[in-house]
Amino acid sequence: MIEQDFKFKGVCKNVEKGSVAWSSPSNIALVKYWGKKENQIPANPSISFTLNHCKTTTTLTFAKRHTSNDFSFEIFLDGALEENFKPKIESFFKRIENYLPFLKDYHFKIETSNSFPHSSGIASSASGMSALALCLMSMEKDLSDGLKMTDDYFNMKASFLARLGSGSACRSIEGDVIVWGTHSEIKGSSNLFGIKYPNEIHDNFKDYQDTILLVDKGEKQVSSTVGHDLMHNHPFAQERFKQADVNLSKLKAILKAGDLKGFIEIVESEALTLHAMMMTSLPYFILMKPNTLEIINKIWKFRAEMDLPICFTLDAGANVHVLYPKKNAKIILEFIQNELVAYCQNQHYICDQVGFGACKIKE
Ligand code: PMV
C-alpha cells in the first residue's frame, strides 16, 4: 500500500446527518518509537502490546452545513466542553483532509471519555486519536457510494489516519501485537500504518498482564512532540535507530521461542534507552521520578530472589508498566500491593492486560 491508496475514491452520498461511536484501547510499546521524519513517518520500527482496559470511547455526531471554508467542530470530555483539545484536533483534521475530503462539509460534535482517570498521567493520545480515526472511517463508509470497503482496508486506513494524529495511535486499532514501521524481516510492515504481527507467538506471551503504576499523575514537563523533535540533532540518533531495528529482529526469535529471559532483556533495555535518549538530547530532560527508580530496583531485587519473569517498561513519563505472564499474576500482584503501591501517587495503579483492539459501539 502506498499513500495514494488512502485517498477517498468514491462519490459522496448526500448524507445530512449521522452518528457513529467507537471504543479504542491504549497500547504499550516493547520496542519504542522515538524520533520521526516528516508526515509522521517513524525513524525506526516499533512493536507493542495492545491493552484491554485503558480505552477511549468516542461518539462522533455529524451534520451537513452550508458554508464550508474551515473545519467546524466542538469537543466534549466527559460531557464538558474541552477547548484545550481544539488545536490538536484542528491540526489532525488539516493533516487528514487530503484523505477525507468531506471533512469541511460537516459540523462535528466529538464526545469522548476515557476508562482511566483523566489526570492519571496515562497518555490518552493513542486511544483518543485511534477512536476518532475509526469514527471517521465509519463515516467514510456511510458516505461512499457504490464502493465496497473490506475490513482490512477499513482497519489499515483507520491506522493510517490515526498515525497522523499521534504516531503510536496507529498501533491501537487491532491487537494483540502490532508492528509499525518498515522492517526487512516482518512481512507487510509499513511506515504508513500498523499491522498485526504476522509471525508465530509462543503461548507464554498470549496473556501478558500490564499493571500500570501511577507514579506521577501530573502533566509531563516535555511533550512527546518536543521529544521526537530533539532526535533530529541527537548525537546517538543513528545508532539508536539501528538498535531498534536489531531489537525487533531479536524479539521476533524471542516471541517464537517463548524466551522470557530474552523478552525481559529487550523490553527493559528499550525502556531505559528511550529515557537515555531524553537525558542525552539538547536540551536534556528527565521524565523519570525518584519513585520510578525505586520501583525499578524493587522489581530487579524481587526478580532475582524469586526467579519470576516480571519486568518493567516505561512510556514517555514517570509511570511504570509492570509486565508478566498471567500464570504468575497472583504472587506478582501480591508483591505489587505489598511493595510497589507505596511509591504510587495516592497508591493508584491500573490492572490491564493484552487486548484485541477497538470495538464499534454504534453505527
Ligand atoms: O505517539 P507519540 O507521538 O505520543 O509518541 C509516543 C512514543 C512512546 O510512547 C514514548 C513510545 C511508543 O512507541 O509508544
Q: How far is the CA of 37 from the centre of ligand 1 (A)?
A: 14
Give buried/exposed letters for 341-354 (b at 16+ CB in 10 A, else e): bebbbeebbbebbb
pLDDT for residue 341 is more than 90: yes
Share of the chain above pLDDT 90, in %: 90
% the chain with pLDDT above 70:
98
Q: Calculate mean pLDDT across residues 153-163.
A: 98
What is each CA distance from 283 to 39, 208, 276, 280, 289, in whole angstroms? 24, 36, 13, 8, 18
CA neighbor of 244 nearest in space, from 103, 18, 62, 45:
45
d(CA 287, ligand 1 centre) in Å: 14
CA-CA distance, 234 to 229, in Å (whole number)?
A: 9
Contact 161, 3 (CB under 8 A): no
pTM of the model: 0.97
User: How large is the C-alpha radius of gyration of the chain?
Assistant: 20
Q: Measured between alpha carbons, how far is 212 from 225 in angstroms, rounded to an integer?
A: 23
Task: Measure Cα distances from 338 to 120, 330, 347 in Å.
Answer: 21, 12, 11
Q: How large is the average pLDDT for residues 13-24?
A: 95
Q: What are phi and psi of 253, to 5 degrees?
A: -65, -40
Q: Is the pLDDT of residue 146 over 80?
A: no
Question: What's the pLDDT score for residue 11?
Answer: 78
| Separation of CA 27 and ligand 1 centre (Å) | 10
5-14, 68-77, 192-201, 331-340: least confident range: 5-14
In short, whether 29's Cβ falls inside 6 Å of ligand 1 is yes
Task: Give the alpha-carbon dihedral of 146, 151, 153, 155, to 10 degrees.
Answer: 130
From the alpha carbon of 123, which atom of ligand 1 is closest? Answer: 4
Average pLDDT over residues 27-42: 97
Mean pLDDT, residues 266-274 taken together: 98
**Residues written for the chain:** 363
Name the average pLDDT for the chain: 95
C-alpha cell at 59: 461518539
316 CB within 6 A, ligand 1: yes
pLDDT value, residue 219: 77
CB distance 26 to ligand 1 below 6 Å: no
- Cα 216 to Cα 291: distance, rounded to the nearest angstrom: 9
**151, pLDDT greater than 90:** yes
More reliable by pLDDT, 120 or 162: 162
Choice from 168, 171, 210 to test ligand 1 binding pocket (greatest atom count within 8 A of CB): 168
Nearest alpha carbon, ligand 1 atom 4: 224
327 pLDDT tier (thresholds 50, 70, 90): very high
| pLDDT 10s digits, 200-234 | 999 999 999 999 999 998 777 889 999 999 999 99
- What pairing do the DSSP bridges indicate for beta strands 72-77 and 106-114? parallel
Residue-range domains of the chain with CATH: 3-197 (3.30.230.10), 203-353 (3.30.70.890)
